[in-house]
Structure 1
Amino acid sequence: MPSTLEGQITMEKTPSYFVTNHAPKRIHTMARDIKLIIVVRNPVTRAISDYTQTLSKKPEISNFEVLAFKNRTLGLIDASWSALRIGIYALHLESWMQYFPLSQMHFVSGERLIVDPAGEMGKVQDFLGLKRIVTDKHFYFNKTKGFPCLKKPEDSSTPRCLGKSKGRTHPKIDPDVIRRLHKFYKPFNMMFYQMTGQNFEWELEEDSGSRSSQD
């Protein structure tokens, strides 16, 4: 971690912290008053996005449908597959709550971050005790990527968009598999909503049907 001067905030990120068993204890030992920001999205979409990223690097891997089940005939989900296990957010949050109170955690909706980036960033700035400097004027939606891009309104520099690894079209997944995964995650989602006090409304996506999306 870089040195932090008075009046500065040092930030560090990696997706693996939240799902790494020994991370909460180690981070608590280092800085028990740290503020934690966790970005989550519909676990079904997250799993497909995870698979899409892996597929781009290892095109020889099995189909999503094969990896998702221990026994598809019986409908037994393979929760040991990391792409699926990561989305059991309640399980991971339990580990963090052993060391940190919810008051030190802020949960960002991945879905709302796309449709209302300024709104979500406003909440993050409030959580960190910062003035709301990043606003609507700092974003524009890139239709090709399917994500908002960050720009500096005070100059004409090229907006900063997500890299080539983002924005890939997801492979088509059997709707029955999507339905089974929504059913699998639902009790864990409900537990996560209760633990965080936030309803991320992922079940609404299930009700409206599976969406063709990008990672």
Structure 2
Amino acid sequence: MNFIRLSLLLIILCSMLMYFIFYLFISNHNIGVRKTQDRDIEAGITIDDRLHIRIAEWNHYLKLSQSTKKTKRLPNIIGIGVKKCGTEAMITFIRQHPFIKTPNYKETFFFNEKYDKGLDYYKSQMPEVTDGELIMEKTPPYFNSPPESLPEIIKKDVPNAKLILVLCDPVKRSYSDFIHEKIKPPNLSTVTQYNSFDDYLDVYIDRVKTSLDKNNNITLKNVMSSYKNDYATTLLTTGLYSIHLPRWINTFNSSNLLILNGEKTIEDPGHQVGRMQDFLGIPRLLQPGDFVRNSRNGLYCIRPWWNGYDFKAEFNNSPDWEKNLICLSETKKGRTRHKNGKVNVTEKHIIELKNLYRSYNKELYKMLEINFEWL
């Protein structure tokens, strides 16, 4: 009898232990997070076993994704914009997933500039992939580019594609777009003659306002016309999201169009990347705790833990430990979004920009019922 009781007790204890281990695995499947006292970063794993489990899972899915012969095909995912809203961060992070592959030139400009080259050309720009891999390209100007029927053309030519759209504060976006244009070679820039964003706004805020119709609205037709005839206008009109969005949501629904908040992509990329993985129907291999702020510019990077990342160097704050992170280019991206960045414009023009966008932001909220913090 004592032997039976002892056996039952051992079984119960073993069951409790297995449940406890399973609970730890489920609740801590992500790399752990802790705060260091001397720098504002997220860091570390709590136990090596957890990392080994994640690497084993990663390798399992990597093997699955590479199990068939590679071929070229049209993209499964298209990033349609918005320009200067964090689309590069979006694709830089999601492309780390073993299921996601991107062209050598991530921005193809096919549907807005090269459509006459045909779908065979478009396919030729894509990487070779297996049946288990997904191709993603992103061309931010798609969102606001002519022709008006561009969404319908994409739907016709790539009917099963899923689209991702990133929206952000239109005031900050317009300034970032100006800086982007300003640093182009003079023969390619549309704002060379303006020494500052204020100089540009002195001309273009009034110019945009003159395109109002009889109902005091800016129409998609007018915006498309200025895109062709006066491209510098788009630095402002791109942020009139409620003008551009209807043609997209009338063609694509929530099952094939994901709309992300670009401000949160900058401040909380882990959550946004999680949403992308769910939307694309791929396993959540990239987790919020994988992201860490770059101390130089304050923007987030991702730890490549699946590829021998040196956690000890980070924990010990070793010299140059951040060189092991996957980050955006510090010279080309996030110029106005880093920790010392700001919109370098007078308060007068800030007010004018907010007034320009206010009614369109309200319309955007009505369309999406998403309360963006910049509305």
- TM-score interval for Structure 1 and Structure 2 normalised by the shorter chain: 0.7 to 0.9
Is 1:172 aligned with 2:344? yes
Instruction: Count the aligned residue pairs.
Output: 203
Deviation at 1:71, TM superposition (A): 7.6
Bigger CA radius of gyration: 2
After the TM superposition, which of the residue ranges 162-171 and 8-17 deviates more from structure 2?
Answer: 162-171
- The residue that corresponds to 1:43 in the other structure is 170
Mapping for residues 99-118 of structure 1, pairs under 5 Å: 99-118=251-270
Deviation at 1:190, TM superposition (A): 1.5
Moved over 4 A (4+): 69-80
Is 1:68 aligned with 2:191? no
- The residue that corresponds to 2:291 in the other structure is 139
- Cα deviation digits, residues 11-47 of structure 1 (max 9, x gap): 1111111112333122111122321100111000000
- The residue that corresponds to 2:372 in the other structure is 200
- Among the aligned pairs, what percent are the same residue? 30
Classify 1:110/1:74 alpha carbon distance in 2 versus 1 (closer, same or farther; 3 Å): closer
Q: TM-score, normalised by structure 2?
A: 0.49
- RMSD over aligned Cα atoms: 2.6
Q: TM-score, normalised by structure 1?
A: 0.82
Deviation at 1:61, TM superposition (A): 3.2
- The residue that corresponds to 1:213 in the other structure is none
Q: Which amino acid in the other structure matches residue 6 of structure 1?
A: D
Q: In structure 1, how many angstroms separate the alpha carbons of the residues matched to 2:357 and 2:177?
A: 16
Tell me which protein shows more helix as a share of its residues: 2
Q: Which amino acid in the other structure matches residue 166 of structure 1?
A: K
Deviation at 1:70, TM superposition (A): 4.5
After the TM superposition, which of the residue ranges 2-11 and 38-47 deviates more from structure 2?
Answer: 2-11
Deviation at 1:76, TM superposition (A): 4.5
- Cα deviation digits, residues 127-173 of structure 1 (max 9, x gap): 11121111123211113223101220232372121111123245620
Cα contact 2:151–2:251 (8 A) shared by 1: yes
What are structure 1's unaligned runs of at least 5 residues? Answer: 204-215
Q: Which amino acid in the other structure matches residue 16 of structure 1?
A: P
Q: In structure 2, how many angstroms separate the alpha carbons of the residues matched to 1:75 and 1:12?
A: 31
Cα contact 2:172–2:343 (8 A) shared by 1: no
Q: In structure 1, how many angstroms separate the alpha carbons of the residues matched to 2:236 and 2:355?
A: 13
Structure with higher RCO (Cα < 8 A, 6+ apart): 1
Is 1:34 aligned with 2:167? no
What are structure 2's unaligned runs of at least 5 residues? Answer: 1-122, 212-222, 227-232, 311-323, 336-340
- The residue that corresponds to 1:55 in the other structure is 182
Cα contact 1:77–1:184 (8 A) shared by 2: no
Classify 1:70/1:102 alpha carbon distance in 2 versus 1 (closer, same or farther; 3 Å): farther
